[in-house]
Amino acid sequence: MFKKLLIANRGEIALRIHRACKEMGIKTVAIHSTADADAMHVRLADEAVCVGPASSKDSYLNVHAILSAAIITGAEAIHPGYGFLSENAKFAEMVEEHGITFVGPSSKHIKAMGDKITAKQVVEKAGIPVVPGSAGSVDSVDDAKKIAKEFGLPVLIKATAGGGGRGMQVVREMSELEELYKRARQEAGSYFSNDTVYIEKFLDDPRHIEIQVIADKHGNVCHLGERDCSLQRRNQKVLEESPSPVINQEVRDEIGMIVANAIKDIGYSSVGTVEFLYENGQFFFIEMNTRLQVEHPVTELVYNIDLVQEMIKIAYGDKLSITQDQIKPQGHAIEFRINAEDPETFMPSPGTILLHHAPGGYGVRVDSALYTGYSIPPYYDSMISKVIIFGKSRDICIKRAKSALSEYVIDGVKTSIPLHTRLLEDPTVLTGDYTIKWLEADFLANK
């Protein structure tokens, strides 16, 4: 096994990886910006290297500084976590070129799945159902109009290099297509330095279902069921759970095996998540994330597996420690993303934590790097903590979550805890009868 691993990330995920490594007897190297000098992952790691100033592009996205940190500390592997460089094919390639193991899939698969057009073509060929749409990029307004007429409105214009809802425009009237097409390309170019777009039929009111897969370098592949991520605001997930309230075991096995077989067919190894829109009993592929997901803990709790440790073992060359017939859901889990933001306006709320008291008890897990006196910097994503609740049933989870959230104290900044508390009192959430539109169109619009 690796003796030393560099964690190319920050916050709760850096701490999560550090803890997994400590259990495996692996020494850790933390990287940090000047703004994160007092961060918990920096304090707990065996070694720490400052890789630049506060700005992400000068620190956590500074490839040369990160590689230099790995080389000077003698790190044998680099785990990218999620976000930042986790799906950067060039970074993965450079890591390998320097004789260091990238804890993740090959740069070839990162590149293929990072381009949504290529990803769609690859998975469709492997047998995964996709959303009807353009065969490739749509390079002119005239082509966009032809495709919109072919599939019928509404259609969705999407950036091929996109993510997080950027570079996406829904066209409901032909008269607005030209303007929205140009807007999508402009936004795509601005955010991703790539203004290429494609078009898909727009599914009006689906759920967001994703399948977790794990594959080693020896051809062994397993799926670990689904996560339901339908509670979203501006295409950003707010709450995730497993199993989905609307998926039964028969459907789970069917779509899970379709995905697992496809992953095996393309030769993928590491953890990965295949995301779908689910409407009227049908699954439609939207993208594959070639990394660890923010919401991975719900799968870990339901299936009793440490995905981070498995990911590291796979990178080292070990075989999977489980087989598909050993994988059965053992309960229910819900993850609540806690952001440092105003729960009414959703404006970021950085600042100093005057008091931090995390909830506890049976079935309560908190993934966080917070501590009393910690100053949340204004330069990064606003998510500061995750509360993950496990129980024998969804009903038990919800009751346990209400208690846990009522105990959680994060004093000094505003957080999204009140939003989650309100959600757990809503009849629609209690029944699980919602889609990706519900949170914004109904819950928030009618508050």
Task: Please give the pLDDT value at position 447.
Answer: 67
Query: Which long-range contacts does 228-231 make (Cβ < 8 Å, 24+ apart)?
Result: 228/432, 229/275, 229/295, 230/434, 230/435, 230/436, 230/438, 231/423, 231/429, 231/434, 231/438, 231/439
Phi, psi for 162 (deg, rounded to 5):
-80, 180
State the alpha helices, DSSP H only, in 115-198.
116-125, 141-151, 177-192
pTM: 0.92
Q: What is the pLDDT of residues 85-143, one digit of tens each?
A: 999 999 999 999 999 999 999 999 999 999 888 998 999 999 999 988 898 899 999 99
191 pLDDT band, cuts 50/70/90, is: confident
Q: What is the pLDDT of residues 386-445, one digit of tens each?
A: 999 999 999 999 999 999 999 999 999 999 999 999 999 999 999 999 999 999 999 998
Task: Please give the pLDDT value at position 213.
Answer: 98
Phi, psi for 52 (deg, rounded to 5):
150, 180
Q: Are 101 and 77 in contact (CB under 8 A)?
A: yes
Residue 63, number of CB atoms within 10 A of its CB: 15
Q: What is the mean pLDDT of residues 150-171?
A: 87
Is the pLDDT reported for residue 177 higher than 70? yes
- Return d(Cα 23, Cα 80) in angstroms, integer: 19
Task: Please give the pLDDT value at position 445.
Answer: 86
- Helix (H/G/I), strand (E/B), else coil: 110: helix
190 pLDDT band, cuts 50/70/90, is: confident
Q: What is the pLDDT of residues 353-379, one digit of tens each?
A: 999 999 999 999 999 999 999 999 999
Q: What is the pLDDT of residues 67-88, one digit of tens each?
A: 999 999 999 999 999 999 999 9
161 pLDDT band, cuts 50/70/90, is: confident
Q: HEC profile for 16-75?
A: HHHHHHHHCCCEEEEEEEHHHCCCHHHHHCCEEEEEECCCHHHCCCCHHHHHHHHHHHCC
Q: How far is CA 123 from the centre of its chain?
A: 19
Is the pLDDT reported for residue 335 higher than 70? yes
Verify cis geometry, omega within 30 degrees of 0, for the bond prior to 350. Answer: no
Query: Average pLDDT, whole number, for the chain?
Result: 95
Q: What is the pLDDT of residues 205-252, one digit of tens each?
A: 999 999 999 999 999 999 999 999 999 998 899 999 999 999 999 999
Q: How far is CA 25 from CA 1, 5, 28, in A?
A: 9, 11, 10
Residues labelled as active-site residues: 291
